[in-house]
Amino acid sequence: MKNVTANEIKNLIQIFDDSEWQELALQVEDFRIFLSRDPNSAGAPWQSTQTPPAPAAPVTSAPAPVPQQPSSGSAVAPAQPTATPKAESAPIPDNYVVVKAPNLGIFYRSPKPGAAPYVELGAEVDDETEICLIEVMKLFTPVHAGMRGTVRHICVEDGEMVEFDQPLFYVEPAE
């Protein structure tokens, strides 16, 4: 199962949708997928539920693939006070809101190779501002800020694999 196709993933999701299962976690070699009907799920069994991932230092843009079939979706949740930023960065204030990955995949800051990133640190965003893409098997999901505010921290490096519900950005809400 080294070369998982988009069709195989779609079939797996369809089987899950047609079932009465509440969660499905599958890992075969380097391929992992976690599906859940519970929005409060603790996540995949291979994810640590004890400590959220530490935000990474802000990064510059790198080439990203051109979206082929974008679908809408974003996940926004209040920032968790237990988030532990890297030692060299300042603590994340409690009032910041974390924008999380709506699904697992590859994180891209720009819409296509050579293009400017969707947002930079300090960028003003609103509910509909597209801030990044998550790609899995050539299916691209645009992620929207989901709120009005200012981007204060970018947690993931361009081209990095992210898990479902992983923090991507911290946004300071507008007053």
The predicted-structure confidence for 36-90, as pLDDT tens digits, reads as follows: 887 777 676 655 444 444 444 444 334 444 444 444 444 544 444 333 334 346 6
Mean pLDDT for the stretch of residues 103-124: 93
**DSSP helix/strand/coil, 52:** coil
pLDDT at residue 4 tops 70 = yes
Place of tokens 């720009």: 110
pTM of the entire structure?
0.52
Mean pLDDT for the stretch of residues 113-128: 93
Confidence of residue 101 (pLDDT cuts 50, 70, 90): very high
H or E stretch at 77 = strand 75-78
H or E stretch at 9 = helix 6-18
Going from the N-terminus, what domains does the chain have, and what CATH number goes with each? 6-36 (no CATH), 75-173 (2.40.50.100)
Cα–Cα distance, 158 to 134 (Å, whole number):
10
CB 138 within 8 A of CB 68: yes
H or E stretch at 35 = strand 31-36
Structure token digits, residue 88: 């060299």
Q: Bigger pLDDT: 2 or 92? A: 92
Mean pLDDT for the stretch of residues 95-111: 94
Min mean pLDDT across 21-35, 62-76, 106-120, 123-137 is at 62-76
Q: What percent of the chain has pLDDT over 70?
A: 69
The reported pLDDT for the residue numbered 89 is 60
